[in-house]
A and B are shown apart, each in its own frame.
Chain A
Amino acid sequence: MKIRTRLVLWYFFASLILLLTFSLGTYLGMRQLLLNSLDNELDQMRDDISKTFNTKTNSFEVLSHPFFLETEFSNYYLILFDKNNNKIFQSKITQITNIDLPVNRVDTNYTTTAQINKAKTSSEKLKFRIVAGELFNNGEVTGYLVIGQSFEKLYESMDTLLSVLLISVALAVFIILLLSNFLTARSLNPIEHLIKQTQQISRENLSERLEVQNPVDEIGKLTNVLNGLLKRLQDAFNKEQEFMADAAHELKTPLTVLRTHWEDELSNKELPNTFKEKLVNDIETITRLSKLINNLLLLSNSEYSPLRSDFERLNLSDLVREVITNTKVLAELKNQSINTVELSQVLIQGDRAKLYQLFFNLMDNAIKYTQDGGTISISVKQELNSAIVEIKDNGIGIPEKDLPNIFRRFYRVHKDRSKKLGGNGLGLAIVKLIVDIHNAEIMVESQTGKGTSFILKFPLPT
């Protein structure tokens, strides 16, 4: 998951939890507050009724206005008793249903919550808050009362509160989502920039450094660290190249001394021919060694710096034809026939000398690893946006287990044979290197005893 997505999700969940906790608190607090005010209201009612007691008439004045009582207390559960515990008033709801309360023990003050049937026949219950107890006037008991109110209003308020809270939370979370998305994008921008810059640094421009925008912040520090790393990398590459150049020099100079010396002795009339034959062998070994050094230098340099290539537009068929002309004699020595299946005119961008070496190495291999009288087929053609060159022989082939390794340096499939044939195990590694320089692809198909086919795919110039 991208850091940006992760950060947005974190923000999202954190704010969601925060907002929900806050909403829950608000909801519960509000509920308690409303419950308290309900109780207060009922107490207030009780007081109000209690105050209407007229000592002269020894009755509640409010009772002389039954209509008022009926309307004012229509929503209340109200039962009024005189001090002798006679029921003197009850509201309509009490007639529908009875509250399962110790109504007869109204001399005790209490507050409770009770279930009341909504209608006589209905089993639907209404929740009521009930206050019951004595009514006083100047310290004397004047009567008793049970008064209750439905929770319905409270519930309505709570429902409204809940929906308001939920809508606000949803809205807030949505805004946070947008905002965090924007902010993380903004704060990750320098990283994206750094990635782009770093991607552009390859072995060709290792001397370039990343631009430090703010040396104090974390990105700036990271950039500095990366720059340090690049410098060490560049130093290492340079040292490696210097080392290779020095090593090549130190190795080649003594080889030159040996070679000039031995070669001169070939004309020394005092030496017997048998000895000179050994000298010729030595000279061959020296040459082999110096070619090996050249190839190693070529391969090792290529890992650190691009080989300076002189690209030009060239006709692949002409080049392949040239290689065929120069290798024909080798094939003729083994009575092999070279069969040009197709040589279409295909132009590509390439380094002539290196491509020559590439095709030469492949042809040379084909001839070496094909028995006398075999056939080598070559074709050059254009397919869609590529130039395809195929070099196919019906020789000894490459075992399947060796196929993945043939482009490795010093890897020899036919160990005894290739040494005898003068290979140094670098031919195909160099082929691969030249293929890479040209952004081309190479594929091998081979069957032991049936032959090998190398297929090269070059991109056409745009």
Chain B
Amino acid sequence: MRILIVEDEESLAKNISDILTNEGYLTDLAFDGEQGLNKVLNEEYNLMILDILLPKLNGYELLRELRRQQNKTPVLILTIKNSVDDRVQGLDSGADDYLIKPFAVPELLARIRTILRRNSEDKSSKLGTANLFLDTTKHTAFINDKQIDLTPKEYSILELLLYNKNRVLSRLSIAEYVWGDNFDLFSMTNFVDVHIKNIRKKIDEMSGEKLIKTVRGIGYMIEETK
């Protein structure tokens, strides 16, 4: 899987690149709009991560040009602005999804995986570990092929954990993913504990193993079973 990162802040571009490389993706970098457009037009990428405020050619312009040339590379937009208008503009110019800076790494990975999954040949591939798997199109969870009754929030938490297998997720990142950034996230972190407790109640007994690991003082994680 090759991912092109178009971001003028070099240290951020390199951070993202490092994270993605560790996750097993191949990455390529571009530091301005023109360079980004050249690369995405001349090489094959599975995804482009695109900043909006870029020198030479901004993200929207790049995206419009890309779509005008019938290039269907999936695009994830990174934006500073936080107004509905900007999001609509991004999606209208042909982006697949957007993330608002500063974003959480688990959310970035979850978004990337959602886009890649949506655009991959194998649409049946399911998200899961051990005897737990999620049907991401129907938003349902199964253990040993038996459906478990999860609330939408519980499903979102489980989804994020599974998209970030082997990564420790802070309660804050989980709260942000589930509730967005409109809330007082510091109160919401208490919700996360409550929800995790409820999820465990529902899945641990049926699964027979403790799938969600607590990392004391830090957060939660699901480990990939070998």
Interface string of B192-220 (1 = CB under 8 A from A): 00100000000000000000000111110
User: Are the C-beta atoms of A249 and B190 separated by less than 8 Å?
Assistant: no
Alpha-carbon distance A267/B9, docked complex (angstroms) = 24
In the complex, which residue of chain B has the Cβ closest to the Cβ of A298?
B82
| B170 adjacent to A266 (CB under 8 Å) | yes
| Cα distance A255–B186 in the bound complex, in angstroms | 18
B186: chain A residues within 8 A (beta carbon): 284, 288, 421-422
Which residues from chain B contact A252 at a C-beta distance below 8 Å? 80, 101-102
Q: Is the CB of A264 within 8 A of B15?
A: yes
CB distance from A285 to the nearest CB of B (A): 10
Neighbouring B residues of A361 by C-beta, 8 Å: 184
Instruction: For residue A258, give the distance in angstroms from its CB to the closest CB of chain B.
Output: 8
Residues of B within 8 A of A253 (CB): 9, 12, 80, 101
**Contacting pair A287 B80 (CB below 8 A):** no
Q: How many Å lie between the Cα of A248 and that of B16 in the bound state?
A: 21
Among the listed stretches B33-41, B103-111, B117-125, which one makes contact with chain A, having 4 or more residues with CB under 8 Å of it? B103-111
Report A131 CB to chain B, min CB distance, Å: 106
Judge if A436 is at the interface, Cβ distance under 8 Å: no
Task: Choose from B166, B194, B217 the contact partner of A273 (Cβ within 8 Å).
Answer: B217
Interface residue total, chain B, C-beta cutoff 8 A: 47
Scoring B22, B166, B184, B186 by chain A CB atoms within 10 A of each residue's CB, the highest score goes to B184
Q: Are B194 and A257 in contact (CB under 8 A)?
A: no
Q: How far is the CB of B15 from chain A (nearest CB, A)?
A: 4
Question: Is B18's beta carbon under 8 Å from chain A?
Answer: yes
Q: Verify A329–B194 contact, CB threshold 8 A.
A: yes
CA A288 – CA B188 in complex, angstroms?
13
A330 nearest in chain B by CB position: B187
- Chain B residues with CB under 8 A of A258: 102
Q: B99 to chain A: closest CB distance in Å? A: 10
Residues of A close to B11: CB separation below 8 A: 257
Binding site for B on A (CB under 8 A): 245, 248-249, 252-253, 255-261, 263-264, 266-267, 273, 276-277, 279-280, 283-284, 286-288, 290-291, 294, 297, 308, 310, 326, 329-330, 333, 353, 356-357, 360-361, 364, 367-368, 421-422, 427
Given A284-B172, A364-B184, CB of A256 within 8 Å of CB of B102:
yes
Nearest chain A CB to B16 CB, angstrom units:
6
**Which B residues form the contact surface with A (CB < 8 A)?**
9, 11-12, 15-16, 18-19, 22, 53, 80-85, 101-106, 108, 166-170, 172-173, 176, 179, 181-187, 190-191, 194, 215-219, 221
Partner of A261, one of B15, B53, B166, B218: B15
Answer whether A260 and B168 are a contact pair too, CB < 8 Å, given A253-B101, A333-B194. Answer: no
| Contact in complex: A256, B12 (CB < 8 Å) | yes
Could you list some 21 contacts between A and B, CB below 8 A?
A255-B101, A256-B9, A256-B103, A259-B104, A260-B12, A263-B104, A263-B105, A266-B168, A273-B216, A276-B215, A276-B217, A280-B170, A280-B172, A284-B172, A286-B102, A287-B172, A288-B186, A291-B185, A333-B190, A356-B182, A367-B187
CA distance A96 to B102 in the complex (A): 123
B191 / chain A contacts, CB cutoff of 8 Å? 329-330
**Contact partners of B166 in chain A: CB under 8 A:** 267
| Chain A residue with Cβ nearest B171 | A280
Residue A257 contacts which of B9, B183, B216 (CB distance < 8 angstroms)?
Answer: B9
CB closest chain-B residue, reference A278:
B217
- B187: A residues at CB distance < 8 A: 330, 364, 367-368, 422
Bound-state CA distance A364–B80 (Å) is: 27
Q: Which residue of chain B has its CB nearest to the CB of A261?
A: B15
Q: How far is the CA of A264 from the CA of B109 in the complex (A)?
A: 11
- Cα of A353 to Cα of B15 in the assembled complex, Å: 33
Q: Which residues of chain A come closer than 8 Å to B102, judged between CB atoms?
A: 252, 255-256, 258-260, 286-287, 290
Look across to chain B and name the residue whose beta carbon is closest to the beta carbon of A309. B84
Q: Quick check: B15 and A308 within 8 Å, CB to CB?
A: no
| The one of A273, A294, A326 that contacts B215, using a Cβ cutoff of 8 Å | A273
B contact residues around A310 at 8 Å (CB): 84
User: Across the interface, do A277 and B217 meet the contact criterion of CB distance under 8 Å?
Assistant: yes
Residues in B whose Cβ lies below 8 Å from that of A255: 101-102
User: Considering the chains assembled together, what is the distance between the CA atoms of A14 and B84 in angstroms?
Assistant: 66
CA distance A356 to B179 in the complex (A): 13
How many Å from the CB of A426 to the closest CB on chain B?
11
Q: Closest approach, in angstroms, between the C-beta of B165 and any C-beta of chain A?
A: 10
